[in-house]
C-alpha cells in the first residue's frame, strides 16, 4: 500500500525507514521459510510475488513508530521484534491468499499464475498450512508470549470468517449484518492485530493497543469493500488477479447486497436472474449487472461506505502525538479507497 502513496518531502524520512524495514521483513520471511528441499524453496520463491502492497507488515511498523516515545526518529523506532511481527502477519496473510485461490479456483494472482493453477489444489493447501505453521514458529521466538496468543486467536477468527462465507455461498438473501461479520473476521481482524501488535511492541498503553486495533479493523473493512468493487468493475490486467470470481462462486458483496435490499420486487427478481446467469458462466451477465448497480447508485453507495470507514479510522489517530508516522498512517488510510489494484 505504501507504494501507492504520493510521498511529500516531509515524509521522506518515514518512507525511507519503512522501505528499509519492509526489505528486512522480507528477508526474515524468506530466511524462516528456507528449506533443505528444493521443491519447497521453489514454491516459496513463487509466492514472493504475492507480497504486493505489504499492507499488514507496513501497518505493524508504522503503528510501532507512531505509538513510540520517539515517533520523529523513525530509524530508532524499528526494533527486531517489529520486524518479526511484520513477517508473522505477512505469513498468515499469504496463507489466506494461497487458500483463497483454491476456494475461488483463481488462476491469476499479482499478474502471475497461482500455485493451485500451476501445481494443483493439494500442493496449494499444504503450502498454505506451511505458511501458518511458520508464522506460529517465528512468533514463538519472541520473549513476549502475547503475540503468539494473538496470532493464534486471529488465525481461528480468519478460518471462522471463511467458514461463515462458505455457509452463505449462493445465499441470495444474505443481509448486510452477516456480510459485515464475514468481512470483519476474514479481512479486518488480521489488519487490526497488525496495528495492535505494533503499538504494543512500542510500549504504548493498553487503551492505545485497543484503539489501533479498531483503526486497523475499520481500515480492513474499507479495504475489502474496495476489493469488492474492484472485483466487479476492475480490469484483471490492472487489478493483478482474477476478477468476477465473487460472481462465479455465488458470493454476494456490498454493492449487490445493498442493491437487492433496496430494489423493488420486479427489479430484485431481474437482478437475481442476472446473478444466476453469472454463476452459470454467462460471460455477458457481469457487465449487465455492473450497469444495473451503477444506475441504481449501489456502486457509489459502496464507495461512500468505504470512505466513511476510512474517516472513522483516521479519527482514531487524532489522540496520537503529531509526527511523520502518524501522517503517513493517515495517507495510507486514504489510499485504501483510492487504489485501482
Residues 6+ apart with CB under 8 A from 151: 88, 89, 92, 135, 136, 139, 193
The enclosing domain of 107 has a CATH number of 1.10.600.10
Residue 238's pLDDT is: 46
237-283 pLDDT, tens digit per residue, is 545 445 577 787 778 999 999 999 999 999 999 999 999 998 888 88
Mean pLDDT, rounded, of the chain: 91
Domain presence at residue 91 = yes
Domain presence at residue 176 = yes
Domain presence at residue 318 = no
Residue 87's pLDDT is: 97
Domain presence at residue 301 = no
Number of domains in the chain: 1
Cell of 30: 524468506
Question: Closest Cα to residue 340, out of 231, 244, 215, 256?
Answer: 231
Burial 225-247 (b: 16+ CB within 10 A, else e): bbbbbbbbbbeeeebbbbbbbbb
Q: At what angle do helices 206-233 and 324-338 cross, to 10 degrees?
A: 30
Residue 197's pLDDT is: 98
With cut-offs at 50, 70 and 90, classify the pLDDT of residue 236: low
Domain presence at residue 310 = no
pTM for the whole structure: 0.91
Cell of 129: 498450512
Domain presence at residue 154 = yes
147-177 pLDDT, tens digit per residue, is 999 999 999 999 999 999 999 988 989 999 9
Domain presence at residue 63 = yes
86-112 pLDDT, tens digit per residue, is 999 999 999 999 999 998 888 888 778
Domain span at residue 159 reads: 2-224+323-338
Domain presence at residue 248 = no
Residues 6+ apart with CB under 8 A from 221: 180, 183, 184, 187, 188, 306, 309
Whether the Cβ atoms of residue 232 and residue 274 lie closer than 8 Å to each other:
no
Amino acid at each position: 500500500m505504501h507504494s501507492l502513496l504520493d510521498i511529500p518531502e516531509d515524509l521522506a524520512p518515514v518512507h525511507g525507514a519503512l522501505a528499509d524495514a519492509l526489505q528486512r521483513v522480507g528477508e526474515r520471511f524468506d530466511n524462516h521459510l528456507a528449506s533443505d528441499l528444493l521443491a519447497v524453496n521453489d514454491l516459496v520463491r513463487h509466492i514472493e510475488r504475492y507480497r504486493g502492497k505489504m499492507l499488514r507488515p507496513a501497518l505493524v511498523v508504522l503503528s510501532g513508530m507512531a505509538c513510540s516515545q520517539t515517533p520523529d526518529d523513525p530509524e530508532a523506532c524499528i526494533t527486531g521484534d517489529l520486524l518479526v511481527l511484520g513477517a508473522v502477519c505477512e505469513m498468515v496473510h499469504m496463507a489466506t491468499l494461497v487458500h483463497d485461490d483454491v476456494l475461488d479456483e483463481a488462476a491469476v494472482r499479482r499478474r502471475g499464475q497461482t500455485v493451485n493453477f500451476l501445481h494443483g489444489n493439494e500442493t496449494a493447501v499444504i503450502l498454505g498450512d506451511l505458511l501458518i505453521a511458520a508464522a506460529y514458529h517465528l512468533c514463538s521466538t519472541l520473549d513476549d508470549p502475547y503475540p503468539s496468543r494473538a496470532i493464534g486467536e486471529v488465525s481461528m477468527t480468519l478460518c471462522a470468517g471463511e467458514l461463515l462465507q462458505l455457509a452463505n455461498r449462493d445465499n441470495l438473501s444474505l443481509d448486510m449484518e452477516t456480510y459485515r461479520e464475514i468481512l470483519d473476521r476474514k479481512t479486518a481482524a488480521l489488519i487490526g492485530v497488525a496495528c495492535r501488535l505494533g503499538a504494543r511492541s512500542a510500549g504504548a498503553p493498553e487503551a492505545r493497543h485497543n484503539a489501533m486495533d479498531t483503526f486497523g479493523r475499520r481500515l480492513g473493512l474499507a479495504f475489502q469493500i474496495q476489493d469488492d468493487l474492484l472485483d466487479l468493475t476492475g480490469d484483471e490486467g490492472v487489478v493483478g488477479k482474477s476478477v468476477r470470481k465473487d460472481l462465479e462462486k455465488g458470493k454476494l458483496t456490498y454493492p449487490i447486497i445493498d442493491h437487492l435490499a433496496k430494489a423493488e420486487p420486479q427489479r430484485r427478481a431481474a437482478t437475481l436472474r442476472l446473478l444466476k446467469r453469472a454463476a452459470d458462466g454467462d460471460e455477458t451477465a457481469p457487465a449487465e449487472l455492473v450497469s444495473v448497480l451503477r444506475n441504481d447508485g449501489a456502486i457509489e453507495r459502496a464507495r461512500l461506505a468505504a470512505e466513511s470507514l476510512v474517516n472513522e479510522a483516521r479519527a482514531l489517530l487524532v489522540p496520537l502525538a503529531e509526527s511523520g508516522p502518524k501522517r503517513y498512517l493517515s495517507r495510507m488510510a486514504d489510499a485504501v479507497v483510492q487504489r485501482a489494484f
